[in-house]
Chain A
Amino acid sequence: MPGYRPEDPGTHPPLDFPGYRSTRLRHPHQPLVPLPHRLTEVTGPLLGSERVGETDHDLTVQHAGEPLGERIVVAGRVLDGDGRPVPGTLVEVWQANAGGRYRHDGDRHPAPLDPNFSGAGRCLTDTEGRFRFVTVKPGAYPWKNHPNAWRPAHIHFSVFGRAFTQRLITQMYFPGDPLFAHDPILHSVPEAARDRLVARFDLDGTVAEWALGYRWDIVLRGRQATPLEDEDDDR
């Protein structure tokens, strides 16, 4: 029963990151206690199609009318660190509308809500690990972290993978956003790893006369190699 490879220390942000003010009272002071991977860690929830409705992957058809904004397709694959697709895994997304406003009571940004946009989607990856969402490009929005602070446009992603160890929640950004240089949340990621959070424009994924395509792959942790490892055994 092989465990999963330890995280590369250059991948994830530190929990204590003073530039992001909300980390101050929420990061543990004590070092993390190592937990070797045993049965609970190499298994995990395999949530199936009962969680996904027919229009959940298309955020532009969930209401009577179409949402305002630039229509986009965001597609990619969920892979493990060995390059193997992760099929049948639940992908959940949420985002602000085109004006930069979330449909959430706590969002006080005085940009208009869009009655035709909830900003939530989900799908299961197919046998090749592929996902595809149709949505509108989210707007940038201000936040209170520091004076004149703005978040670059982003879509939140939640992915389960196949084991508790692979669980990941992250954010996808759009290429060339001038706000990257000013965003402490993106900057919390080690510099060499930041561009892994930025989708690329994808002309092949663009639907002519309909929607711009973006491509973004998500890579979860791979298995620890063992002498007996055999792909066929990885059911």
Chain B
Amino acid sequence: MILPGTPSQTIGPFFAVALPWPDGPDVVPDGTPGAVRIGGRVLDGAGDPVPDALVETWQADPDGRFAHPDDPRGPATSGFRGFGRCATDAEGRWAIRTLKPGPLPAPGGGAEAPHLDLSVFARGLLNRLVTRIYFPDEAGANAADPLLASITDPAVRARLVAVVEEDGLRFDIRLQGDQETPFLAI
């Protein structure tokens, strides 16, 4: 039996009455050794900030394990939540505090470079947009990553790699335009 799926609808402009959690951006608590700040801005096709977006992240722990029983290697024991949620502010800014994930085994004996999966919801988005964040200090692993390798234009590929800044890593999400973020079909 295959049941027809429930369609997506926009999150609308008023989700802040329910979805933001005080600890949403804290994938790990303040003061966690090795924690990194990852954040940026969500911008529309005119380059204007999107002040009513919700960004969610999902990732493995530093050992490349997930807090989830469907990981065929068994669930992680680290207690790492793996999930982040942050609404954008008036300037379109979002940020989370997390630990860098480990690499993951890929089918065929290769490896996926450390990455976060990311969902973007907003007024004007009738379905979520999905993308990935990769790490700038992983040039070798990134070069061998199957998803990055599937993107032929190096300038486009580079948009999935976060940029080092003084206080952490920056990852801007451009919904539309010349510097559009590559979004993924899952």
Contact = CB atoms under 8 A, between A and B. Distances in A.
Contacts of B176: 25-29
A200 interface: no
Interface stretch (A67-75, A166-174, A201-209): A166-174
Interface residues of B, number: 73
Given A12-B127, A34-B150, A120-B18, A193 B7 contact: yes
Contacts, number: 232
B124 A83 contact: no
Interface string A50-90: 01000000000000000000000000000111110000000
B184 A35 contact: yes
B8 A104 contact: no
B44 interface: yes
Contacts of A217: 6
Interface residues of A, number: 82
A39 B104 contact: yes
Interface stretch (B31-39, B58-66, B136-144): B58-66
B8 A170 contact: yes
B158 to A, nearest CB: 14
B124 A26 contact: yes
A45 B83 contact: yes
B8 A169 contact: yes
Given A44-B58, A79-B3, A103 B17 contact: yes
A116 interface: no
A63 to B, nearest CB: 14
Nearest to A218: B6
B154 interface: no
- Secondary structure call for the A interface: loop
Given A82-B1, A83-B3, A104 B16 contact: yes
Q: Which of A46, A96, A119, A189 has the most CB of B within 10 A?
A: A46
Interface string B27-51: 0000000000000000011101010
Interface of A: 1, 7-8, 11-15, 17, 20, 22-30, 32-47, 51, 79-83, 92-94, 96, 102-104, 106-107, 118-122, 156, 158, 162-165, 167-171, 185-186, 188-190, 193-194, 196-197, 217-222, 235
Given A15-B127, A39-B104, A219-B6, 17 more contacts: A1-B70, A22-B123, A23-B126, A39-B60, A40-B66, A40-B115, A45-B81, A103-B17, A164-B117, A164-B119, A165-B186, A169-B9, A171-B12, A188-B126, A217-B6, A220-B6, A222-B3
Interface of B: 1-19, 21, 44-46, 48, 50, 52, 56, 58-60, 66-72, 81-83, 104-107, 112, 115, 117, 119, 121-130, 132, 146-147, 150-151, 175-177, 180-186
